[in-house]
């Protein structure tokens, strides 16, 4: 689940989306900063595969995408929208298959543009990427083949500060990058990076008006940052084997990018640096208890602009949360189970 599953909704409350057997479940705060409600099933009783993609637009609605079984040995993608934590999500709506019919071809990714339209990306049977997008007046457009080749691992979809959607995908020895030239257009293959990228480590973040930054781990174990049109920069050695999660936030009055990753010791490691200034360097600081090997990490900000970090252990369903304290640096309150 290479997605940001901790999300702040339009009413300021935080929600955590969890994969549970054949469903997606949501846990939400009863009020901003308050206790959390028990998990609720999202999207109705539709049986799903254990796959989930999440995206959020400027309206702060949450878009969810998953695969569902259809007929024997075949599957199709489904989409739901969650407007507020205290409202039921829309029922899962079928949106088809990148090759019309067949089995699962890869994990989907979703990004939402400035107009609130979801764009769903998934690898197709040819090894490239296909996309389907919502239309302005409702419904879905046709599936489009975005080309590409030998795509590996999870995709990283992101919406830039311009409101236009971009996509990154790992291929042997590099990364492919697609971007929309204008709002509502089909993303075009824009640039290819040659780099020893580990699949399933891609995370993308909007970091300035004209740029998004891709974070990935290379074969030497370094976390690297790359903005199309520039050369990738090795930022720091990875703290552990999984992907990093990232959020842009204000720390001590500075625009910073904060990274988090489950470390080799089992705790959560944090590192921050001035946004788009990788030359400033970054260093890991560990926090919290030792976590199970399957623990996932996610970052967001609450309605007061404080960084919130959460961990989720799929095996046990245990959710832990911490918030940044009103102190210099990355000072976090004690982690608590909710």
Sequence-ordered list of residues with C-beta below 8 angstroms from that of 52, at least 6 positions apart, any chain = 1, 3, 5, 17, 19, 24, 64, 65, 66
pLDDT averaged over every residue in the chain: 94
Closest CA relative to residue 159, chosen from 226, 222, 209, 197: 209
Tens digit of pLDDT for each residue in 159-209?
999 999 999 999 999 999 999 999 889 999 999 999 999 999 999 999 999
Report if pTM > 0.85.
Answer: yes
User: Is residue 78 pLDDT above 90, yes or no?
Assistant: yes
Using CA atoms, how far apart are residues 212 and 101, in angstroms rounded to an integer?
33
pLDDT at position 224 over 60:
yes
Q: In what order do the strands lie in the sheet with 23-28?
A: 6-8, 14-20, 23-28, 40-42
pLDDT given at position 328:
86
pLDDT over 70 percentage in the chain? 99
Max CA pair span of the chain: 57
Give the integer Cα–Cα distance in Å for 219 and 223. 10
For the chain, report the end-to-end CA distance as a whole number of angstroms.
20
Residue 267: Cβ within 10 Å count: 20
Per-residue confidence (pLDDT) for residue 137, from 0 to 100: 84
Instruction: Give the best-scoring range by mean pLDDT among 14-28, 29-43, 109-123.
Output: 109-123
User: What does DSSP assign to residue 137?
Assistant: T
Query: Dihedral of the CA atoms 82, 83, 84, 85 (nearest 10)?
Result: 0
């Amino acid at each position: 689940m290479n997605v940001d599953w901790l999300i702040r909704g339009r009413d300021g409350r935080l929600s955590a989306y969890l994969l549970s057997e054949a469903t997606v479940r949501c846990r939400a705060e009863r009020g901003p900063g308050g206790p959390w409600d028990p998990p609720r099933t999202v999207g109705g009783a539709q049986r799903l595969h254990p796959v989930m993609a999440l995206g959020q637009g400027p309206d702060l609605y949450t878009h969810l995408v998953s695969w569902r079984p259809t007929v024997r040995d075949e599957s199709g993608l489904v989409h739901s929208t969650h407007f507020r934590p205290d409202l039921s999500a829309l029922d899962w709506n079928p949106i088809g298959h990148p090759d019309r019919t067949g089995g699962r071809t890869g994990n989907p990714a979703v990004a939402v543009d400035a107009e609130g339209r979801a764009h769903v990306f998934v690898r197709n049977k040819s090894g490239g990427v296909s996309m389907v997008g919502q239309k302005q007046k409702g419904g879905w457009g046709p599936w489009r083949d975005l080309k590409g080749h030998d795509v590996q691992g999870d995709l990283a979809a992101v919406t830039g500060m311009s409101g236009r959607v971009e996509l990154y995908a790992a291929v042997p020895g590099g990364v492919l990058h697609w971007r929309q030239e204008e709002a509502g257009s089909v993303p075009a293959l824009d640039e290819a990076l040659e780099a020893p990228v580990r699949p399933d480590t891609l995370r993308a973040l909007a970091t300035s008006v004209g740029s998004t930054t891709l974070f990935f781990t290379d074969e030497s174990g370094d976390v690297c940052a790359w903005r199309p049109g520039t050369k990738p920069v090795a930022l720091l050695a990875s703290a552990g084997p999984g992907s990093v999660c990232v959020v842009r936030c204000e720390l001590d009055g500075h625009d910073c990018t904060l990274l988090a990753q489950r470390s080799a010791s089992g705790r959560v490691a944090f590192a921050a640096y001035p946004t788009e200034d990788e030359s400033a360097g970054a260093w890991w600081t560990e926090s919290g208890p030792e976590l199970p090997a399957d623990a996932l990490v996610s970052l967001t900000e609450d309605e007061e602009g404080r960084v919130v970090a959460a961990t989720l252990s799929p095996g046990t369903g245990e959710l832990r949360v911490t918030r940044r304290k009103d102190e210099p640096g990355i000072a976090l309150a004690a982690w608590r189970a909710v």
